[in-house]
Amino acid sequence: MLDDFLVRAALAGVGTAIAAGLLGCFVVWRRMAYFGDATAHAAVLGVALALGFGTSITFGVVIVALAMAVLIHGLSGQGAAIDTILGVLSHGALALGLVAVTMIPGQRIDLDAYLFGDVLSVTRFDLAIIWGGSAVVAAVLWWHWSAMLTATLSPELAYAAGINPRREQLVLTLLLAGVVAVAIKVVGALLITALLIIPAATARGFARTPERMALLSVGVGVLAALGGLRFALIFDTPVGPSVICMAAALFGVGTVGAKLRA
Amino acid sequence: MSLISAKNIDFSHGGQRVLQGVSLSLEPGEIVTIVGPNGSGKSTMLRLLIGALKPQKGSVTRKPGLRVGYVPQKLYIDPTLPITVERFLNLPHRVAAKDAAAALETAGVPGVGQRQMSQLSGGQFQRVLLARAILGKPDVLMLDEATQGLDQPGSASFYRQIESVRRDLGCAVLMVSHELHVVMSASDRVICLNGHVCCEGTPEVVSVAPAYRELFGTGTGGALALYRHEHDHGHDHDHDHHHPKHEAAE
C-alpha cells in the first residue's frame, strides 16, 4: 500500500493536518502567527546548512527551527513589543537561506520543494518523520493541555495555580519547530503558518469549548489536505498551495455557514 | 503561622522603583485590603505574593501547601477562544459538576454553566472568576481590583458576596483596591500603600491617619458610611446582553 505515491502523499497530508490543527488553535488563541512564520522561514536556512554540512535535511531543519524557537522565546520575555524583531528574524533567515543555498558548490537543488512543499515525493522515511513528529506534538499537547490553556487565559491565574506560564510558552514554541519539521515536505516553509491558522479559524465558529475547536480544526485540516491533493491531481496544480486554497475555501464556507446559523 | 508573609520587599521595574522595604503578612481568616493611589505598587505587591514576580530584595514566604484562589483585575479572553463557564471552572484541574454548580451558587451566579464566557455581563464575569477561585477550597482568596468596570451598586454587592464567601469558607481574603469607600468597611485590616507601607490598621484607624489623609484627602472619610447604608439591589444579576467591556479591555 505504501508503495503507491498517492497513498504516501495522502498519509503525509493527514499526519501534518493532525499536528498543525491541534497546535494551530494555540497559535490563533495566543496570536503567535508571527512566531510560526519566523520558525518556518528559519527552516529554509536549515535546508541550506544541512546541504552545506552534508547532513540530513530533516536534521538541519529541526536544529535551526528549534534554535529560532528558543531565540524568539527569549526575546519575547524582554517584555517589549517584538513584532518588528520577529519580522527581521523571520525574513532575514528566509533570505539568508535562499542566498546560502546558491553558494553551496556543486549543489543545484530544487529549493521549490522546501518553499512550496513536494508531497508527491515523500518517502517512507519522510512518512515516519511526519507521523512520528505529529505523534510527539499531539502527546505533548495532551500532557500539557490544561496548563497551557490556563496560561493562555491568564498568566496570573497560571502562577496562582502553580503553573509557570513562561515554561508553557517555551513548550509551545518548541512544538512549533516540530510542526515546521513535519509540514515542510507537505506545504513548504512559506505556507506552514497558513496550515496552522486557517483550520483553527474555520473551526472557531462551530465550537463551544477549546477541545471541540481543536478536534474540529484537525477535521478541517484533514479535509483540506485530502481535498487539496485531489484538486491538484485533477487540475495538475502544485499540491501545497492547493491544500491551502482548499483550507481557505473551507474557511469561507464555514464563516458564511456560521453566520447563517446564528 | 501566617499564611503568607513578605519581608522587606524591594521591587523595581524598568529602572523605576515600585516598592521599597514593604513587609506585610496575612493571618488565617482575616480580610485585609491594600489601598493606594494608581501606580502605588498595589497590583505589583499581589503579583509578588502569588509568585508571578520575583522581588529584587527581600523574601516572600508562603505556608507550605497553601492554596491560593486568585481573582485577577481583568481577564481578557481572545474572541477566537470559545469557552463555556463550566469548562473555565475546570481549569487547570477537573472538578465535579455538582461542585462547579455549588461554586457558581456561592458566587451568586447560579445556572450560568453552559453560557459562553464572552456572553456574560461584567458583574457575572467577575462572579464566575470568584467561583473559579473558591472551587479550589483556598486558604486565601486574593482579589486584584476585582470590581473594575462595575458600577457602584454592582461593586458594593460584589464585596458583600466576598464577605459571605469568607463566612462560608473561613478563608483569608487579601484585596487590592482604590475604591476606598466600598472596600474599607468590609476589612479587618487596611494597609495603605504608596511604594512603601504608609499606615496600617483597622479601617477606622487608617481613615483618620495623617498619611492616609495626605494621600486621599479628607473627603473620603464620610464615604465609609455610604457602603454601610447601601441596600442590595441585585442590579447586575439578570443582564443577559453582551457586555462590550471585555472586548474593549485590551
Convert the pLDDT of each residue in B118-159 to its tens digit. 989 888 898 899 999 989 889 999 998 887 777 778 888 888
pLDDT for B153 equals 81
pLDDT tens digit sequence for A71-114:
988 888 776 567 888 888 999 999 999 998 888 876 667 788 88
pLDDT for A107 equals 62
In a domain, B42, yes or no: yes
Instruction: Compare A213 and B158 and report the one with higher pLDDT.
Output: A213
| SS3 letters across A159-210 | HHCCCCHHHHHHHHHHHHHHHHHHHCCCCCHHHHHHHHHHHHHHHHCCCCCH
Average per-residue pLDDT in chain A?
A: 91
In a domain, B47, yes or no: yes
pLDDT tens digit sequence for A222-251:
999 999 999 999 999 999 999 999 999 999
Question: What are the start-end ranges of the H helices in chain B?
Answer: 42-50, 85-89, 97-106, 122-135, 152-169, 180-183, 203-208, 210-216, 223-228, 245-248
Mean pLDDT, residues A158-162 taken together? 88
Establish if B201 touches chain A: CB-CB under 8 angstroms. no
CB of B203 within 8 A of CB of B31?
A: no
Give Cα separations from A74 to A82, A83, A159, A246, B37 (angstroms).
11, 14, 19, 35, 34
Among B81, B95, B134, pick the best mutation site for testing chain A contact (most A Cβ within 10 A): B81
Dihedral (CA of B236, B242, B248, B250) sign: positive
List of chain A residues whose C-beta atoms are within 8 Å of the C-beta of residue B82: 204, 207-210, 212-213
**What ipTM was assigned to the predicted interfaces of this complex?**
0.85
Q: Catalogue the long-range contacts made by B245-248 (C-beta closer than 8 Å, 24 or more residues apart).
A: B245/B122, B245/B125, B245/B149, B246/B74, B246/B75, B246/B76, B246/B77, B246/B118, B246/B122, B246/B125, B247/B79
pLDDT for B227 equals 39
Residues 6+ apart with CB under 8 A from B89: B95, B100, B103, B104, B113, B128, B131, B132, B135
Candidate from B69, B77, B82 with C-beta closest to A204: B82
- Whether omega for the bond prior to residue B92 falls within 30 degrees of 0, making it cis, is yes
φ, ψ (nearest 5 deg) of residue B217 = 80, 180
In a domain, A32, yes or no: yes
CATH number of the domain that B209 lies in? 3.40.50.300
Do B214 and B132 share a structural domain? no
pLDDT tens digit sequence for A41-57:
999 999 999 988 888 88
Residues 6+ apart with CB under 8 A from A143: none
**CB pair distance less than 8 Å for B50 and A152:** no
Do B180 and B62 share a structural domain? yes
Number of H helices, E strands in chain B: 10, 9
Dihedral (CA of B106, B110, B116, B120) sign: negative
Do B184 and B61 share a structural domain? yes
pLDDT for A161 equals 87
**CB pair distance less than 8 Å for B83 and A209:** yes
pLDDT for B236 equals 43
Range with the lowest mean pLDDT among A200-204, B84-88, B220-224? B220-224
> Grid coordinates representing A75?
526575546
Average per-residue pLDDT in chain B?
A: 81
CB of B86 within 8 A of CB of B162?
A: no
In a domain, A63, yes or no: yes
State the pLDDT confidence band at B15, using cuts at 50, 70 and 90: confident
Asked whether residue B103 carries a pLDDT value surpassing 60, the answer given is: yes
Do B216 and B144 share a structural domain? yes
Do B3 and B60 share a structural domain? yes
CA distance to partner chain B, nearest, from residue A65 (Å): 27
Do B57 and B108 share a structural domain? no
Q: What is the Rg, in whole angstroms, of the alpha carbon atoms belonging to chain B? A: 18
Q: Report the share of chain B in percent with pLDDT over 90.
A: 29
Establish if B88 touches chain A: CB-CB under 8 angstroms. yes
CA gap B208, B178 in Å, rounded = 17
Asked whether residue A219 carries a pLDDT value surpassing 80, the answer given is: yes
Name beta bridge partners: B85: none
In a domain, A261, yes or no: no
B90: Cα within 13 Å, side-chain hemisphere: 17
**CB pair distance less than 8 Å for A31 and B72:** no
In a domain, B163, yes or no: no
pLDDT for B241 equals 45
Structural domain boundaries enclosing B179: 1-67+140-148+170-220
Structural domain boundaries enclosing A36: 5-256
Do B27 and B58 share a structural domain? yes
Mean pLDDT, residues B76-86 taken together? 92
In a domain, B132, yes or no: yes
pLDDT for B232 equals 38
CB of A201 within 8 A of CB of A33?
A: no
Pairing of strands B189-193, B197-201: antiparallel
* Residue given cell 465550537 in the structure block: A207
Instruction: Examine the fold and report which residue of B84, B116, B136 is the final residue of a domain before the chain moves on.
Output: B136
Nearest in space to A19 (alpha carbons), one of A248, A249, A247, A221: A221
Instruction: Compare B38 and B53 and report the one with higher pLDDT.
Output: B53
| Count of domains forming chain B | 2
Do B144 and B53 share a structural domain? yes
Asked whether residue B48 carries a pLDDT value surpassing 60, the answer given is: yes
* Cα angle, residue A251 at apex, residues A245 and A254 outer, rounded to 5°: 140
**CB pair distance less than 8 Å for A156 and B91:** no
Mean pLDDT, residues B23-48 taken together? 88
Candidate from B75, B92, B142 with C-beta closest to A146: B92
**CB pair distance less than 8 Å for B70 and A149:** no
The model's pTM: 0.84
State the pLDDT confidence band at B226, using cuts at 50, 70 and 90: very low
Nearest in space to B67 (alpha carbons), one of B148, B207, B169: B169
**CB pair distance less than 8 Å for B84 and A28:** no
pLDDT for A199 equals 97
> Grid coordinates representing B7?
519581608
Do B3 and B61 share a structural domain? yes
In a domain, A262, yes or no: no
CA gap B210, B189 in Å, rounded = 17
Establish if B138 touches chain A: CB-CB under 8 angstroms. no
Do B113 and B24 share a structural domain? no
CB of A163 within 8 A of CB of A147?
A: yes
DSSP state of B84: B
Neighbours of B80 (CB within 10 A): 17
pLDDT tens digit sequence for A111-148:
888 899 989 989 999 999 999 999 999 999 999 999 99
Closest residue of A to B68, CA-based?
A160
Do B174 and B55 share a structural domain? yes
Do B89 and B199 share a structural domain? no
In a domain, A113, yes or no: yes
Dihedral (CA of A66, A68, A71, A73) sign: negative
pLDDT for B206 equals 80
State the pLDDT confidence band at B222, using cuts at 50, 70 and 90: very low
B153: Cα within 13 Å, side-chain hemisphere: 8
10 Å CB burial of residue B85 (0-12, 13-18, 19+) is buried
Establish if B170 touches chain A: CB-CB under 8 angstroms. no
| Count of domains forming chain A | 1
pLDDT for A60 equals 92
In a domain, B119, yes or no: yes
CA gap B153, B236 in Å, rounded = 9
- State how far Cα B72 lies from the chain centre: 7
> Grid coordinates representing B225?
458610611
pLDDT for B83 equals 95
Range with the lowest mean pLDDT among A32-36, B139-143, B178-182? B178-182
